[in-house]
Amino acid sequence: MGIANYNNECRKIVMRYSGEWEKTMERLGRWVDFKHDYKTLYPWFMESVWWAFSELHKKGLVYKGVKVMPFSTACSTPLSNFEAGQNYKDVVDPAVFVGFKLLDNPNRQLVAWTTTPWTLPSNLALVVHPEMQYVVAKDKTTGVEYVVLEERLGELKNENLEVVEKLQGKQLKDLKYEPLFPYFANMREERNAFRVLNDTFVTSDSGTGVVHQAPYFGEIDFQVCVANGVIAKDQKMICPVDENGKYTSEVKDYEGIYVKDADKLIMKKLKEMGNLVRQAECKHSYPFCWRSDTPLLYKAVPSWFIRVESLVPRLLANNDETYWVPSFVKDKRFANWLRDARDWAVSRNRFWGTPINLWVSDDGEEVVCVGSIAELEELSGQKITDLHRESVDDITIPSRSGKGVLKRVSEVFDCWFESGSMPYAQNHYPFENRKIFEDNFPADFIAEGIDQTRGWFYTLLVLSTALFNKPPFKNLICNGLVLASDGAKMSKRKKNYPDPMEIVNKYGADALRLYLINSPVVRGENLRFREEGVRDLLKDVFLPWFNAYRFFVQNVQAYEHETGNVFDMNAHVASENVMDRWIESFTNSLVGFVRKEMDAYRLYAVVGPLTKFFDTLTNVYIRLNRKRVKGDNGLHEQHHALAALGRVLILIVRLMAPFSPFFCEYIWQNLKKVIGAKEESVHFLMLPKPDKSLIDESVERRVEVMRNVIDLVRLVRDREGIAVKYPLKEMIVINRDSQFLEDVKSLEPYILLELNVRQLTVSQDKHKYGITLKAEPNFKILGARLKGEQKKVADYLKNKVTEAELEEFLLEGKLTVLGHEITSEEVAVSYAAGADQGHGYKTHSDAKTIVMIDTTEDESLVEEGLCREVTNRVQRLRKQAKLVSTDTAHVHLVVHPAGSQLATVVAAKLKDIESATGTPIKLGAPSADAKAATAVSKSAVKDSEVELWLFAEGDNFEGITVVDGTKKVRVHLKTEKEQLNGYADLLYNVRSALDLWNGKITLNNADGSRVHPTVDVKSLVGHTLQLAR
């Protein structure tokens, strides 16, 4: 194929996938300047990489050496430790216990353990720990003696062994042994090889305490053997394995055999020689090539290195100047990696990539590092248009020392060198754009995954420190990894995760963005991806948000229709309504909080409060102010409520725009008309600043108090099975804080309305209502910790503890009992109502507040509750029939059995039910000859059953009917408050009516043809369409 053709295919792949990447980024809402992009294959980018390397060469930071590195035999190239760490797998390898016979006592063998028998032909030494205890164990049957670490003797699995001698590792030092194989026996004379060494890296948690050394196949082996003079850094390598992982002619018995395939042959040979003490298997984690998915070998390779070890103090200093979120990744994981940094092997034996810009003489003595295209043109006399291998491999440079010509070394750069060069290479620095680079370096902010602590973050810092003695960035967010739902790494091969674009197309990019930003990932922790989490955000955030927006727009239209004036949010003075003041204060406080956290790059703290905001907006503000917004309390109040709601929606759209750009843009395009904004896009606006004049901490406190009380009472209702439709006579709120009780009373109307209670009483005196505190010890937890003392402590808690002690416990979360500090996990403290005061009252509390509700039923309360139940059934039937408030209809109602309490209540309260529902109601079933009802229902209420028939007035219906099996949806073209805007709006109404938020739906005409999305919906009026899934 040749390098040129191969690289051309690589170039096509890059361009194809960069196009796909652009589409994906646009669909996800990431703003990337694709018109002014950079790719590492651009010659101008590569030239900046050459410049960087030439600067390092000038500084004396480049050298050629030998290093034991992870090596991919499938790709015939060494890998970085980072690359090796990307693809570990659990594998089963042979685990062999090999005996090395002492030279002066062949009957005694030092037993080493290894999972790589293929390295044994290259063995040059053995290592033991100098301070650990070793034993000589004699086989009583054969008489052979084995030397192993005392605590690992059991690993030999030989019951016939008898310990005959004990000695420390340092006593074994310099003992000589017979080479297992003859291939490198000359090393005994040349380098004093085949002897026992001492080193403290030996551990007692695996193996035998005797470690076999093949220095050119293990990084530690290499270091130990160099340190002990067994090999020299500059000697010829003893590495009889070629780049394909096969033995060379130096190991003639296994020449041409792949080393892993030779394991069994070597073990067979060891057995024949009497050196195989035991053979087993071992399951362990082993690195595989991330490209070819084949096992890596660790072998020595000649490589070009950057002297990183000499930079460590400066690397640590520059790291200290940066700000990371989360900080522990910087201070621990990354800093520890920097402290242990090793010289960086930057050369790779590949075709594709930036060629290393070194031209070397045949004897290696003369080296020229070319720093630019112009320099290469000057030195070679050739015109240069590209820097890839096919363009520069054949270019030679005349020797200045009379050594003929210099040829380029064959390697290319480690791709991480290119990535680490991007801060300046993206601007073609220093050849152009000097000011742009200098004004923007270091970068304000970068973000990547936590695995980049050994990748991009690291190489950025190394090169920036070496070239400029500066950190490459100021601020960094370190993301965790997104895993499959079962916690495994996402794998294309295993297909253990959903296609991200399917998730985007199904739920929208905004839902996926919020899911990820609100996950542990932005705190540097891992996330188990759950599709349900994305779907829940759609349900819990975007649908309530959209409904609040629709509610606002509908009622603005209704207001304008009623008044004949264009709605102006600023036409009136500020509202005095406490809820209007609260929602604007609350929203502006949220804006301030978000800006503060964003300034500190704490994304993980931002999205939670933002998403919860919509629950607050819909379930507190809109819920308690629905009548005001709809105009039921008059136009003046409606305007105030609409203005407050509108300002809040606009503020939150601007605030949420960076997080959910598509949805915010959609809403902005409509809301900007209401406020007359000139900006064409919400993204043309800066993140809003809080209006401090609108922030009222006292109002926010009062509403928070109200919400707390409402939640406590709801919990009592839920626990007792009392629906909110049934009114309660009285609720009592007890708290020692007078300000708290003032806050409760100030919002009394809202509390009574929301909780459907007739009377609110507040008090600071719990004893007046017979409320006491009681402690319930957790005997299991206390027993586990206190053992024999548990009984005394539990007895004190149940019978002797004082009220004051328990109140202190509720505040502090801990209590000292008989010298033991008791925590909230070990005892539960609750309020209890006394027997004399508690009759009919049910209680709930938190640490400071007690609520009591009177659950005693009387006739009027029961009747009111039943009336509300029937009202609810009529309203649900109208919704089922897809009627709006302006649609006229009448209902027939029958209660079974006829003489029940419910039947009596309905007859007595019929006018109230009609008024609440806006629907005339006739008691009794429709006549037999009546037309078919628009909608019918039958449901239980208490001990009775209510049957309803609804008949809509058809002459008032101007719209589209959609049929889904037995269900029918009526969609109005236009109502007083809303107009149907296109096919998408029609589909939304259908989904809303049928609760069909998942999956794809289409609409078909009566003849079965599909309704086209571009249809004018006015042309569909009066038609009946079929729903198709």
Query: What is the assigned CATH class of domain 959-1028?
Result: alpha beta
Whole-angstrom CA distances from 377 to 371, 380, 439 are 11, 5, 31
- Alpha-carbon torsion angle 147, 151, 155, 156, nearest 10: 30
Q: Is pLDDT at 956 greater than 60 in this prediction?
A: no
- Closest among 471, 461, 477, 178 to 324, alpha carbons compared: 477
The token pair that represents 844 in the structure block: 């709930």
Asked if 902 and 866 touch (Cβ cutoff 8 Å), the reply is yes
Q: Is pLDDT at 695 greater than 90 in this prediction?
A: yes
Q: Where are the alpha helices (DSSP H) in 848-930?
A: 859-880, 901-908, 910-917
pLDDT tens digits along 367-419: 999 999 999 999 999 999 999 999 999 999 999 988 889 999 999 999 999 99
Q: Is pLDDT at 202 greater than 50 in this prediction?
A: yes
For residues 662-676, give the mean pLDDT: 88
Q: What is the mean pLDDT of the chain?
A: 90
pLDDT tens digits along 856-872: 878 888 888 899 999 99
pLDDT of residue 813: 81
pLDDT of residue 978: 64
Maximum Cα–Cα distance across the chain = 120
pLDDT of residue 427: 95
Q: Is pLDDT at 245 greater than 50 in this prediction?
A: yes
The domain limits of the chain are 1-37, 38-70+309-479, 88-287, 527-688, 771-833, 859-956, 959-1028
Cα distance between residue 778 and residue 828, in whole Å:
7
| Run of H or E residues at 424 | helix 422-425
pLDDT of residue 670: 85
Cα distance between residue 722 and residue 855, in whole Å:
8
Task: Count CB neighbours of 685 within 10 A.
Answer: 14
For residues 602-613, give the mean pLDDT: 90
pLDDT of residue 955: 43
Query: What is the assigned CATH class of domain 859-956?
Result: alpha beta
Q: Pick the residue with more confidence: 528 or 197?
A: 197
Q: Pick the residue with more confidence: 842 or 356?
A: 356
Q: Is pLDDT at 43 greater than 80 in this prediction?
A: yes
pLDDT of residue 793: 85
Q: What percent of the chain shows pLDDT beyond 90?
A: 60
The token pair that represents 470 in the structure block: 């500066």
Cα distance between residue 728 and residue 717, in whole Å:
10
Cα distance between residue 417 and residue 192, in whole Å:
40
For residues 838-855, give the mean pLDDT: 82
Topology of domain 771-833, per CATH?
3.30.720
For residues 239-252, give the mean pLDDT: 95
How open is the CA angle 768-771-773, to the nearest 5 degrees?
Answer: 140
Pick the CATH number of 38-70+309-479 from 3.30.420.40, 3.40.50.1100, 3.40.50.1820, 3.40.50.620: 3.40.50.620
Q: Pick the residue with more confidence: 146 or 1023?
A: 146
Give long-range contacts, CB 8 A cutoff, 24+ apart: 602-606: 602/325, 603/325, 603/477, 603/517, 603/522, 604/518, 604/520, 604/522, 604/523, 606/517
Across 53-57, 80-84, 919-923, which has the greatest mean pLDDT?
A: 53-57
The yes/no answer on whether domain 88-287 falls in CATH 3.40.605.10 is: no
Q: Pick the residue with more confidence: 391 or 1012?
A: 391
Task: Count CB neighbours of 805 within 10 A.
Answer: 17
pLDDT band at 653 (very low <50, low <70, confident <90, very high): very high
Q: Is pLDDT at 740 greater than 90 in this prediction?
A: yes
Q: Is pLDDT at 836 greater than 50 in this prediction?
A: no
pLDDT of residue 835: 47
pLDDT of residue 377: 95
pLDDT tens digits along 715-738: 999 998 888 888 899 999 999 899
Q: Secondary structure of 792-851 in the HEC alphabet?
A: HHHHHHHHHCCHHHHHHHHHHCEEEECCEEEECCCEEEEEEECCCCCCCEEEEECCCCEE
Q: How many CA atoms lie within 13 A of 219 on its CB side?
A: 10
Q: Pick the residue with more confidence: 85 or 183?
A: 183
Q: What is the secondary structure of 136-171 as a DSSP string?
A: EEEETTT--EEEEEGGGGGGG--TTEEEEEEEEGGG
Topology of domain 527-688, per CATH?
Isoleucyl-tRNA Synthetase; Domain 1 (1.10.730)
For residues 1009-1015, give the mean pLDDT: 86
How open is the CA angle 314-460-373, to the nearest 5 degrees?
Answer: 110
pLDDT band at 456 (very low <50, low <70, confident <90, very high): very high
DSSP annotation of 897 = S
pLDDT of residue 716: 92
For residues 601-611, give the mean pLDDT: 89
pLDDT of residue 65: 83
Residue in the structure block whose two tokens are 């409060």:
609
114-128, 735-749, 830-844, range with the lowest pLDDT: 830-844
For residues 41-66, give the mean pLDDT: 95
pTM of the model: 0.74
pLDDT band at 80 (very low <50, low <70, confident <90, very high): confident
Coil, strand or helix at 667:
helix
Q: Is pLDDT at 321 greater than 80 in this prediction?
A: yes
Q: Which amino acid is at 966?
A: T
For residues 83-109, give the mean pLDDT: 92
For residues 753-778, give the mean pLDDT: 88
For residues 487-513, give the mean pLDDT: 86
Q: Is pLDDT at 834 greater than 60 in this prediction?
A: no
For residues 318-334, give the mean pLDDT: 94
Q: Is pLDDT at 1027 greater than 80 in this prediction?
A: yes
The token pair that represents 771 in the structure block: 């409320």
Do domains 88-287 and 771-833 share one topology? The answer is no
- Where does residue 178 rank: exposed (0-12), middle (13-18), buried (19+ CB within 10 A)? middle
pLDDT of residue 730: 92
